[in-house]
Amino acid sequence: MNFLDAPSPDQEALETGLAQVFFSPVEPYEFARDPDQPPPLRAYALIDASQSPDIAICLDAFNSPARCLFDGEVGEDLAEVAPWLVELTRFDDAWDWFLADGYGKNWGILIHSRLELPRLKTQLKRFLKITDEKGQTFFFKYYRPKHLNAYLPVFDAVQMASFMKGIETIFAEDDKDPNLLRQHRLLADGGLKSVVHNLREVGAPMMPRVANDDDAANWLKAVQESA
């Protein structure tokens, strides 16, 4: 990376904090897992391809498993504007790309689930269309952070249980301040617990300490004295 392209300390702290909040609960995959134990927790992003013409192309090129939520000919015709579900790991190209190009731009939401990708896709596509009190059908772009943060907390108990089935946690950036990440989790009693993470505050303590001018002068003096 060119030095001039390197992120600012604040941006780097934000990215470090986001990775910490999102990936720290995710369990490592095990080749021989006890069948009596629940499946591992997996990390996903649900991304709105209409936000950039490059999204569908990039997701198709990455090694990370990705599926368009639209099936068949509809999926082929609308792939460039459809929602895409991609499974993520901390150090893969898809995550680095989303972090650099998409986070903070209303591209999509992040999800923790124990469902494998095909089953989670089936669950998520159920809510792409909704019907109002008058019987009119609308596309529901809940995968846009602004929409999710607005509508999820006002779901009733039945809607909440249906929407969150198979999903442990959903994360969405705050539309006014992407430094704030909103985390939504369904409780055992059917209620929703929402927490706001300040990503820079989370990430800053994990940043390497940058030497100041005094540190550099002391280091140079020590080298000269030992020569």
The tens place of each residue's pLDDT in the chain, 227 residues long, gives 444 456 788 899 999 999 999 999 997 665 555 667 788 999 999 999 999 999 999 998 999 999 999 988 877 788 899 999 999 999 999 999 999 999 999 999 999 999 999 999 999 999 998 777 777 788 899 999 999 999 999 999 999 999 999 999 999 999 999 999 999 999 988 899 999 999 999 999 887 655 555 655 665 566 566 65
Spatial strand order in the sheet of 167-173: 66-68, 83-88, 42-48, 108-113, 167-173, 180-186, 192-198
Query: How confident is the model at residue 145, as a pLDDT?
Result: 96
- The full set of domain ranges for the chain reads 3-226
pLDDT (tens digit, 9 = 90+) per residue, 110-155?
A: 999 999 999 999 999 999 987 777 777 888 999 999 999 999 999 9
Which residue in 21, 19, 17 sits closest to 169, CA to CA? Answer: 21
135: left (phi over 0), alpha (psi -120 to 50) or beta: left
Which residue carries 């772009």 as its tokens? 141
Distance CA 7, CA 97 (A): 14
Distance CA 128, CA 114 (A): 21
Please state the pTM of the whole predicted model.
Answer: 0.85
Q: Is 121 helix (H, G, I), strand (E, B) or coil?
A: helix
